[in-house]
Chains A and B, each alone.
Chain A
Amino acid sequence: MEPGYLLLIFTTLATASAMAAYVPGVRKGADTPWLGIARICVYATALGLMATAATLWYHILSHHYQYSYVYRYTSSDMPLRYVIASFWGGQEGTFLLWALYGGLLAVFIRFKAKQYESPVLFFYLGIDLFLLLMLLKANPFAKLPQIPTEGNGLNPLLQDPWMTIHPPIMFFGFASLGIPAAYAMAAMVKEDWDNWIRRAIPWTTFGILALGTGLTLGGYWAYSILGWGGFWGWDPVENSSLVPWLLAVGLLHNQMIQLKRGIFRRLNLFLALLPFVLLTYSTFLTRSGVLADFSVHSFTDLGINQFLVAFMVVFLGGGLGLFVWKFRRIPTDKTQAPLASREYFMFLGSLVFTLFAIFVALGTSAPIITRIWGPASNVQPEFYNRMGLPFAGLITLLVGVAPFLVWRDVNLKESLRRLMWPTLISLAAMPLLVFIGVRHIPHLVLMVLTTFAVVSNAYMILLLIRRKWRAAGGYLAHVGIGLAVLGIVASTSYGTKETVVLPKGEEVLSLDYGFKYLGRREIENGRKDAYDVALRTADGAYLVSPTMYFSDFNQGMMKKPAIHSFWSRDVYVSPIGHALDPLQDRIQTRVHLQKGTPVSSDGMTLTLIDVAPRSPDAKATGPDGSSHPTKEVVATIDVLHGGTHQTLQPVLQGFSDGSTNVVPADIANTDQAISLLTTETTGTQVDVGIRWPSLGILRGESGDIQGNKVSLNSFDVQMPTREGGSVKVFAIAHVEMNGETFHVRPGIISRPGDSGGLEQIEAPIGRTGQNLVLERVDANTGRAFFYIAQAPQEYLYAEVSLKPFIGLLWMGTALTVLGLAFATFQRGRIANRLVTSEAGREGLEAKKNGKRVAA
């Protein structure tokens, strides 16, 4: 058997043994004879998980492709940092990562939890046990029947520094949010209703911090890499991390109330279970495949659905069962919180967060809920956006007012006096907001409220900084959240976008900026193409370079936007495509014909006899093979070639969607064809194109194209680097034109797959303005077909958008993270001190009384 799998079995047994050995201590307290064994098993769990992870990393780094996981997510040509990161490229790896964090945190708790060690670790290790059981089923060390020589590679979209650190941070948050739940269950078993709070608070805060950081990184990645312009899509995968985050924020504020005031004991025990239960629920939603049709992410069933369901049932059932069982025994404080007290406002804030979490969870579960009465349906993003506005308004109001309210009591006069400045400043911001263009009343109200929240909390920090700077973390997080909300509203509601077509070298004005496409440039050893665009503002010019490249992994074009940040806005340039000529058929000569007037071109004489619409042939199909043309125009042209007249009828088809299709007519006795390109509405003039036949020559031969001598010297064939890649064939040729000899290297890329076909890489013939095109290479004879064409106009299609004040979002989230980190540190410090003194007191009492103290 695999060493890695053996390690997994060993670790699973160690975890189960640790749980079993902790059972006697769950109710009794710290010292049972089993405690030593339990601790050894905890260490063994952590070591086992580290060894398992190290084994997986070893296989990944050594490119052992016989392992399915290594094959699926890595390849030899990946940079080292992405090889390391491919550990969490797949589901199995992320479960292992989650379990690994759990194991390490378990060791940490073993040293910190003191008399809570047994019950907390019993419940907390339960999570790891489930994760390990799932890993035994969905084994990351599964082998393939044959050994592939090369791996599949990691999706290039994920080969990004932000995406590299996003999962490890996210799963750290997942692992931390299990701890408050474990503490709540432990508290219920021990019937210790208050002490668990301060021990759990640092973990709740840390979970919010880690999950929040992960969400922000994911949003930033979506914004800067995916190129759809947004940072949040209300996708089930995003929502499933947002819901536990919202619940944890609600929990944290309610825990703070209990810490200060000793109320909400029952509610907190219940709320502490929610973030973790919802984490398991969302893990189920996103990994079981039930939402496969409703998410932009792809999910596959790994065959662990029954484990996921059991995971949910055990933790939800166990936690709720315990809660219901103990409910009557939980002492309640009958005193009511006054309406304008700080605890009441914090409670309202906590309630709003929890309700919004439920709301998002309901929306995400829509495909499951609607299945009850009809076909599975999901809700549109407006569902969340509509409710988000009033929720954000309520929250910012509460966040703005709460810092200046006092605990327990109502001191309206004092509170209002202190609130005066923040209120005045935010009201003063209103005309400014109207002036810069915020005219929509709900947006204006929300922005004023948000300004109020920011100013009020910043003011609070100023007041605290001299006396109680240690308590400033929370207020800093509030300032950050306020700024983030401002950034979100400004950039999403007041952003503008436009699709532009940028001809090379010509400046196009859009959204008050000038955009000039400068040209294409190869980057990263030719693996990607950067498209340089000069962005001109009133007072300067900047270079922005969106990139596009063909990904062998995804078998498609990858498009990465370019962003230029000004202090008040981001200019976002998202590439759509790059085209050399708007026509599919390359036309070498374009001729304008007037009715009855002969025109000589390319050794023939063309005369337009008539141009008229005709009713479309119902059987004819359009270029897409499905829709019928809605109109057709036929030109009747007399062609005099080689002394004979012939009458040709090229057709231009139009479709309901506005697209057109050209049906050329072949010129007899030549390889040329004539196409109708445009018609005048008057029906007297047309533009036609003449296509030349291509020249087919073998290696070493030369031939003549339009009076120019073209010689094919050799081929340069580049085979794909691995299976599924593309074959590139270049022709090493030279062209004699205007008395000069040019060396040119046109090529073709053959892309496998449905959307395949050939892509020509045209080669410019010196500075003549003409290109040599390798049309195709006959696979049997090795005959290469060339033609010479006008160097086409190059176009870059892009979507440009302005994101006003989006910087506030990133700055705000950074401040929030900073504030949370500070708060976590301070809360941890306080909890540590209290727990240590608690333990000391307990030990002293135990000695004095000569008996064990329960709880």
Chain B
Amino acid sequence: MNHKMRVAFGVAALAVFGTMAFLNFNKTVAPYVPFAEAKAAERTVQVAGAPNHEAARFDPSLKQFQFTMSDEHGEVMPVIFTGVKPGNFDEAEKVVVIGKYQEGAFHANQILVKCPSKYNDATTDDPAKEAS
């Protein structure tokens, strides 16, 4: 294999890599939308909003976790998640649900809960207010 062929081969390999990456990217990218747009969208989307903790419950027979959530425009939508309540859900003021809208409810396949990690928690940023 001479030098030119090697270069051609390398370029071809990179092209395959680039195409795979691009296709994958387009396939798995989930835009961030409010519920109004989620209703119209057919693909997987994600919606950020405030969960209503009072309405959250786990249904053991259906093995579903259900709650309602209001998005940034204040639109309230029931959210159904097949699975268990995420670990830090109870203290989350904001969650991100990822999934599709179907028949009156948002069916989430993933719930992102802002977990208080070692990074600073926004709620404790102003300790002067709390520490009186």
Q: A370-B29, A378-B29, A576-B58 are in contact. Are A89 and B124 (CB under 8 A)?
A: no
- Chain A contacts for B122, CB-based, 8 A: 298, 300
Interface string of B73-95 (1 = CB under 8 A from A): 00010101001111111110000
At the interface, yes or no: B55 with Cβ under 8 Å from chain A? yes
At the interface, yes or no: A35 with Cβ under 8 Å from chain B? no
At the interface, yes or no: B96 with Cβ under 8 Å from chain A? yes
- Chain A contacts for B12, CB-based, 8 A: none
- Chain A contacts for B54, CB-based, 8 A: 624-625, 755
| Closest partner residue, chain A, to B6 (CB atom) | A336
A370-B29, A556-B88, A799-B83 are known contacts; what are 8 more A-B pairs with Cβ within 8 Å? A144-B127, A228-B86, A228-B87, A299-B119, A366-B29, A576-B85, A656-B103, A755-B90
- Chain B contacts for A501, CB-based, 8 A: 60
Q: Which of A152-160, A480-488, A772-780 contacts B (4 or more CB under 8 A)?
A: A152-160
- Chain B contacts for A383, CB-based, 8 A: 24-25, 27-29
* Contact across chains for A659 and B127 when beta carbons are under 8 A apart: no
At the interface, yes or no: A2 with Cβ under 8 Å from chain B? no
Interchain residue pairs with CB less than 8 A apart (30): A65-B131, A72-B120, A144-B128, A157-B116, A158-B118, A228-B87, A293-B48, A296-B112, A300-B122, A355-B17, A363-B25, A366-B29, A370-B29, A376-B32, A377-B46, A378-B29, A379-B29, A386-B28, A623-B55, A624-B55, A625-B55, A627-B104, A656-B78, A656-B103, A657-B105, A658-B59, A658-B62, A755-B54, A797-B60, A799-B84
Task: Kindly provide the distance from the CB of A295 to the nearest chain B CB, expressed in whole angstroms.
Answer: 8
Q: Which residues in chain A, 526-555, are within 8 Å of chain B measured between CB atoms?
A: 551, 553-555
The listed residue (B28, B90, B121) touching A382 by CB distance below 8 A is B28
Task: Kindly provide the distance from the CB of B47 to the nearest chain A CB, expressed in whole angstroms.
Answer: 11
CA distance A666 to B32 in the complex (A): 48
At the interface, yes or no: A465 with Cβ under 8 Å from chain B? no
* Contact across chains for A499 and B25 when beta carbons are under 8 A apart: no
- Chain A contacts for B29, CB-based, 8 A: 366, 370, 377-380, 383
Interface string of B90-132 (1 = CB under 8 A from A): 1100001010000111000010111111111110110110111
| Closest partner residue, chain B, to A155 (CB atom) | B116
The listed residue (B32, B52, B103) touching A626 by CB distance below 8 A is B52
The listed residue (B52, B86, B119, B127) touching A287 by CB distance below 8 A is B119
Q: A298-B122, A375-B33, A555-B91 are in contact. Are A339 and B1 (CB under 8 A)?
A: yes
Q: A379-B29, A577-B85 are in contact. Are A296 and B118 (CB under 8 A)?
A: no
* Contact across chains for B119 and A298 when beta carbons are under 8 A apart: yes
- Chain B contacts for A795, CB-based, 8 A: 60
* Contact across chains for B124 and A626 when beta carbons are under 8 A apart: no
* Contact across chains for B28 and A657 when beta carbons are under 8 A apart: no
CA distance A294 to B94 in the complex (A): 12
Chain A CB count within 10 A is highest, among B31, B32, B46, B104, for B32
The listed residue (A355, A553, A625, A656) touching B104 by CB distance below 8 A is A656
Q: A377-B29, A557-B90 are in contact. Are A298 and B120 (CB under 8 A)?
A: yes
| Closest partner residue, chain B, to A627 (CB atom) | B78
The listed residue (B32, B83, B114) touching A296 by CB distance below 8 A is B114
- Chain B contacts for A387, CB-based, 8 A: 20-21, 24
CA distance A499 to B68 in the complex (A): 22
CA distance A47 to B25 in the complex (A): 48
The listed residue (A68, A152, A362, A723) touching B21 by CB distance below 8 A is A362
CA distance A529 to B87 in the complex (A): 16
CA distance A236 to B118 in the complex (A): 14
| Closest partner residue, chain B, to A363 (CB atom) | B25
CA distance A375 to B37 in the complex (A): 12
- Chain A contacts for B117, CB-based, 8 A: 155, 157-158, 237, 296-298
CA distance A380 to B33 in the complex (A): 15
Chain B residues near A (Cβ < 8 Å)? 1, 3, 6, 17, 20-21, 24-25, 27-33, 44, 46, 48, 52-55, 57-64, 66-68, 76, 78, 80, 83-91, 96, 98, 103-105, 110, 112-122, 124-125, 127-128, 130-132
CA distance A242 to B88 in the complex (A): 25
At the interface, yes or no: A88 with Cβ under 8 Å from chain B? yes
- Chain B contacts for A553, CB-based, 8 A: 116
The listed residue (A375, A658, A659) touching B31 by CB distance below 8 A is A375
- Chain A contacts for B67, CB-based, 8 A: 624
- Chain A contacts for B28, CB-based, 8 A: 379-380, 382-383, 386
CA distance A797 to B64 in the complex (A): 12
At the interface, yes or no: A195 with Cβ under 8 Å from chain B? no
CA distance A149 to B131 in the complex (A): 8
The listed residue (A72, A91, A226) touching B127 by CB distance below 8 A is A72
* Contact across chains for A296 and B60 when beta carbons are under 8 A apart: no
- Chain B contacts for A551, CB-based, 8 A: 91
The listed residue (B1, B60, B89, B116) touching A499 by CB distance below 8 A is B60
- Chain A contacts for B85, CB-based, 8 A: 576-577
CA distance A226 to B3 in the complex (A): 52
Q: A144-B128, A658-B62, A659-B66 are in contact. Are A755 and B53 (CB under 8 A)?
A: yes
What 6 pairs between A and B have smallest CB-CB spacing? A624-B55, A556-B91, A148-B131, A556-B90, A383-B28, A755-B53
- Chain B contacts for A297, CB-based, 8 A: 114-115, 117, 119
Task: Kindly provide the distance from the CB of A250 to the nearest chain B CB, expressed in whole angstroms.
Answer: 14
At the interface, yes or no: A559 with Cβ under 8 Å from chain B? yes
Q: Which residues in chain A, 336-374, are within 8 Å of chain B measured between CB atoms?
A: 336, 339, 355, 359, 362-363, 366, 370, 374
- Chain A contacts for B90, CB-based, 8 A: 555-557, 755
Task: Kindly provide the distance from the CB of B32 to the nearest chain A CB, expressed in whole angstroms.
Answer: 5
Task: Kindly provide the distance from the CB of B115 to the nearest chain A CB, expressed in whole angstroms.
Answer: 5
CA distance A167 to B119 in the complex (A): 12
* Contact across chains for B84 and A94 when beta carbons are under 8 A apart: no
CA distance A674 to B17 in the complex (A): 68
At the interface, yes or no: A313 with Cβ under 8 Å from chain B? no
* Contact across chains for B57 and A91 when beta carbons are under 8 A apart: no
Task: Kindly provide the distance from the CB of B89 to the nearest chain A CB, expressed in whole angstroms.
Answer: 8
- Chain A contacts for B20, CB-based, 8 A: 387
* Contact across chains for B30 and A754 when beta carbons are under 8 A apart: no
CA distance A551 to B115 in the complex (A): 13
* Contact across chains for A302 and B128 when beta carbons are under 8 A apart: no
Task: Kindly provide the distance from the CB of A26 to the nearest chain B CB, expressed in whole angstroms.
Answer: 36
- Chain B contacts for A237, CB-based, 8 A: 117
| Closest partner residue, chain B, to A297 (CB atom) | B117
CA distance A168 to B46 in the complex (A): 35
At the interface, yes or no: A71 with Cβ under 8 Å from chain B? yes
Task: Kindly provide the distance from the CB of A334 to the nearest chain B CB, expressed in whole angstroms.
Answer: 9
- Chain A contacts for B76, CB-based, 8 A: 626
- Chain A contacts for B80, CB-based, 8 A: 657
Interface string of A656-691 (1 = CB under 8 A from B): 111100000000000000000000000000000000
The listed residue (B88, B104, B120) touching A300 by CB distance below 8 A is B120
CA distance A181 to B130 in the complex (A): 44
* Contact across chains for B127 and A377 when beta carbons are under 8 A apart: no
| Closest partner residue, chain B, to A369 (CB atom) | B25
CA distance A307 to B71 in the complex (A): 34
Chain A CB count within 10 A is highest, among B103, B119, B127, for B119
* Contact across chains for B78 and A657 when beta carbons are under 8 A apart: yes
Q: Which residues in chain A, 377-404, are within 8 Å of chain B measured between CB atoms?
A: 377-380, 382-383, 386-387
CA distance A148 to B21 in the complex (A): 52
- Chain A contacts for B27, CB-based, 8 A: 382-383
* Contact across chains for A145 and B118 when beta carbons are under 8 A apart: no
The listed residue (B103, B115, B120) touching A91 by CB distance below 8 A is B120
| Closest partner residue, chain A, to B120 (CB atom) | A300
| Closest partner residue, chain A, to B96 (CB atom) | A293
- Chain B contacts for A849, CB-based, 8 A: none
- Chain A contacts for B63, CB-based, 8 A: 499
- Chain B contacts for A68, CB-based, 8 A: 127
At the interface, yes or no: A90 with Cβ under 8 Å from chain B? yes
Q: A297-B119, A375-B31, A376-B32 are in contact. Are A152 and B127 (CB under 8 A)?
A: yes
* Contact across chains for A723 and B17 when beta carbons are under 8 A apart: no
At the interface, yes or no: A146 with Cβ under 8 Å from chain B? yes
At the interface, yes or no: A574 with Cβ under 8 Å from chain B? yes
- Chain A contacts for B124, CB-based, 8 A: 72, 152
